[in-house]
A and B are shown apart, each in its own frame.
Chain A
Amino acid sequence: MPGQIKTMIDKIIAQRSGGNVTLINTTKTKLLLKGIDPDKFVWNSPDDQAIITKLRTLATELRVTL
């Protein structure tokens, strides 16, 4: 089912930012610098397993529970 990547990214951003607009932006930039551009993924983006695996690793690094 497409959209898994967008769901994971949104969870990471939500947990790290707590909804704070500044932290939403810095978290998105941190993901971008780690090689995942949050703005590239939408709800119908296909479930690319390589990216899903990378996001799981990044979530652990960022101390976020997916």
Chain B
Amino acid sequence: MAKNKKKDGASAPSLALSLSGISKSFGPVHANRDVALDVHKGSIHGIIGENGAGKSTLMNILYGLYSADAGQIAIDGKPVRIASSSDAIAHGIGMVHQHFMLVKTFTVLENVMLGAEKGFQLDSSVEATRAQLKKMGDEYGLSVDPDTLISDLPVGLQQRVEILKALRGANILILDEPTGVLTPQETQGLFEILRALRDEGTTILFITHKLHEIMALTDRVSVMRQGEMVAHRETAKTDMEELAQLMVGRKVLLQVERTKVEAGEPVLQVRDLEYVDAAGVKRVDGLSFDVRAGELLSVAGVAGNGQTELLYMLSGILAPTGGSIEIGGAKVTADNPVDAAHMRDLGVSHVPEDRHNRGLVLPFDAKENSILGHHNDRELGGLLFDRAAIAERATRQVTEFDVRPPNIDLRAAQFSGGNQQKLVLAREIDAAPSLLLIGQPTRGVDIGAIEFIYSRLMEMRAAGCAILLVSVELEEVMSLSDRILVMMDGRQIGIVDRDAADENMLGLMMAGVSSEKAA
């Protein structure tokens, strides 16, 4: 291990990177507050924290995409100023972003070349880059066909291109939540590449919110919480329990009170459901399952494996291209599609994964958002809206769901993430659905609101509502569900009872291993 190599030397391990006093605010929000961080040369340093803890902000500052309000950065002991990504690159920093920074219409070669061209004419750069790609492929197992278009590559290989780009002349490599789009197996492959790079002397900063990745990969770990750096540890000298405590800032992880509910008749029946998108890619491939009254079925899987399309079909945003959905006495097929408005009439409520672009209209006030999707309700007026009725409905929702501040004239954009989620949930539950679809219920939501949301979901379940939950958080899936459906590549890998499942088994299933083998 690199760490051990260093210990053999006479001097103390030298620092590749040292940050101190970094602060950054976005309006009233302190994304980073007086953050300090030392990273040893040739080590893999993990930074862990919940969503919104300020990890990405810190890395974007280090990479010059944001400018810090205060603080110093030193590289190899020398203070530097990083005002732009070109400064960062000049100082040997490379970054693999959470959202890939690739030109989809370009080839792999063109993407790797971009920004590192040699001279005005491209010819010489093309040859040099081609040779370099071959070398990287041979040395680190980072091989990818240079002449393929990015848009034709699977996500895992796209990430490989990102790494190749970031490695051009970099001594310090930042990876921001790189495993979110990968299967567990692809993740293992990535880890091997990173270890190989570390052993060649590259310093690696690995950002994640997943504890087991920290334990599996890193030499050191720093924990962030609410914009502050709360602890630094050697990975070998800490454990998951301590890190988890540090991340959430309190002893107990969330416990959900699940009462026993006898599931009733099937509310939703899905048979051989398929969705082929405009580009001809099969996003959902042959799903068949029921959700019964008083039952919570979770759909687990790595993000982007067809869960979004499933939610959209069940809520009427997309029409299926094959199979059927039976709900509320109606049978939805490719020949008999039902739009989102009609789905609501059939008793389906939908808390979408993306509340900013789907569930809310951010410039609208809470009143106007309280009727989104229900604006054709008769009780809201005739030819013109009955504004008193709308205000009454909004007030009812805001009060029942304890939205803060309880001001229905405030625009949605002015509420915090947790309260925005409550606004959506309030509206959808207010419609008294027989089926509640809910995607990533706690993404970007603070702990207090999470507890509230969980207990509301359990109440709905107890009241006989059928709930279909889509989440990429295995802990959430494990603590809420009655049964768990695992999806990969649009396919249904299996459905397991919660009591028969554990995280390891679900992880294998998410990689495509059938439930019998995984168990």
- The finding on whether chains A and B are genuine partners in a shared complex, rather than unrelated, reads no
Query: What is A's interface to B at a CB cutoff of 8 Å?
Result: none
Query: What is B's interface to A at a CB cutoff of 8 Å?
Result: none
